[in-house]
Chain A
């Protein structure tokens, strides 16, 4: 075998191995998705939206409590996290720029983005749940907001940075004060990007379970009291899945299906917005 033939052979082997690993990866992930869809669709029915949790064995059981709880928790977290994240991102992009402080904040925030979410849960337990004396929706929402802020901060910073400096200068030249330039020119220019960041942030915290385990805890009944433990789809899913009752496990799969569709939907919409913005 000549050297060239050998190189071509090695090349073929490596490329085949690489394709094989892609096939393995896709096969596993496809397996998980298939299970999720089959189980989820199988367990899905309209009772889910009508009834709240009940002891195992009752036909009138659903996920209303968890769906509403999830919406409240994520909604509250969004209300807290999005403004803070956008403002902080604005500071980095428009005021801090390349200063040491701005870089330091970016680095720390980037690290926080990958920090274990269960640790955030423990922290919120210490500063919110312990002083209050009981689990609460507030605690869960605060934990989610802390996870959300670095994501929004990062995308806002990146997206504002894409707005051309000449646009800002043009606005300044018209005599606009800085806050007006940011509000009316920079934000407007980066609208699609910021919105995408917000959607991705919501999608990310929507799937979080660990930080809720001992902050908002869980409840098998419908509640809207923010000062009380609140059920969420993820924690409900966890509790139902590890329970020995078949009908609870079924509900767990239904919850998993609904949540995944919601999160995938947010991700797809976010990408489409960004894509449409880029094409313009």
Chain B
């Protein structure tokens, strides 16, 4: 009897996850219906976002999300791979442990703190170098890259560490240098894992809100220059959700949220299913 109750309780909890995820999609879709009917495809192709005129085009926000994530990846990927190589192949065991744990702890620092640091310490530097406001696409991309770096480096290192020692040793025995081993043994062996880790980090970067809200500017114009202020989907949601005053405005914000969810869901799913598919063991 208790056995039945317990097993049903666990099954109910597990199914609840699926219900919540489905519910999120359905609810966001229902809430965005008004905007979908009002704008159709124009929603993603128009960049005029004028709440006072009841005109909502998400192009500038979508563009900002993609562009800032692209910039962040551009800066973060080479450094993260460098750090991962350093951690898995170069560093002495003691340093490895220390650096490894530090990198993981840094990944746990709340993103809002990266945003605060960016606003007070990094934006002024960008302003001095490039002129203008300092707030904009470039600052957002760099702050985002720093925020995503520990996570990306940690998962890339984990992927590289899956290479069996015996493979590496055989390559060394043939006279390979460390770089030969890295490029001809580790990278081919761990390629799927490395790509998957990077895409996973990308999926997180797209949806990151707090690290970029401070430094992006929330300006609904498609930026013409890399240092221009811009906006992204999460930045728009963070700034405008609590202030929206008409149902069409709300509906448009929900459609933005749905767009973001679909984008990140697809990216993460590609990383997980295509590259990071792990075989599970039986009990």
Residues in chain A near residue B119, CB distance under 8 A: 241-242
Residue on B with the closest CB to A29? B106
Q: Are B86 and A18 in contact (CB under 8 A)?
A: yes
Nearest-Cβ distance from residue A80 to partner chain B, whole angstroms? 11
Inter-chain contacts of A256 with B (CB < 8 A): 110, 112-113, 116
Q: Is B17 within 8 A of A109, CB to CB?
A: yes
Q: Which of A209, A214, A263 sits near B108, CB closer than 8 Å?
A: A263
The reply to whether A210 and B146 form a contact with Cβ atoms under 8 Å apart is no
Chain B contacts with A in 171-188, Cβ cutoff 8 A? 177-180, 182
Q: Which A residues touch B12, using CB under 8 A?
A: 87
The residue in chain A whose Cβ has the minimal distance to the Cβ of B20 is A146
Contact A120 B110 (CB under 8 A): no
Number of B residues, CB within 8 Å of A: 90
Contact B178 A11 (CB under 8 A): yes
Asked if A116 and B109 sit within 8 Å, CB to CB, the answer is no
Q: In the bound complex, what is the Cα–Cα distance between A110 and B272 (angstroms)? A: 8
Given contacts A93-B283, A117-B209, A217-B242, contact A267 B108 (CB under 8 A): yes
> Could you list which residues of chain A lie within 8 angstroms of chain B, going by C-beta atoms?
7-8, 10-11, 14-15, 17-22, 24-26, 28-29, 31-33, 35-36, 83-85, 87-88, 90-98, 102-105, 107-112, 114-123, 125-127, 146, 149-150, 153, 161, 165, 177-179, 182, 203-204, 206-210, 213-214, 217, 234, 237-238, 241-242, 249, 252-253, 256, 259-260, 263-264, 267-268, 271
Known: A116-B206, A209-B210, A213-B242. 20 other contacts (CB 8 A): A24-B79, A26-B99, A35-B121, A36-B117, A88-B13, A88-B16, A95-B7, A96-B14, A108-B18, A111-B265, A112-B21, A114-B207, A114-B264, A115-B264, A118-B234, A126-B28, A217-B242, A241-B119, A267-B104, A267-B105
Some 7 contacts from A to B, beta carbons below 8 A apart, are A15-B179, A22-B83, A94-B10, A127-B23, A203-B108, A207-B108, A213-B242
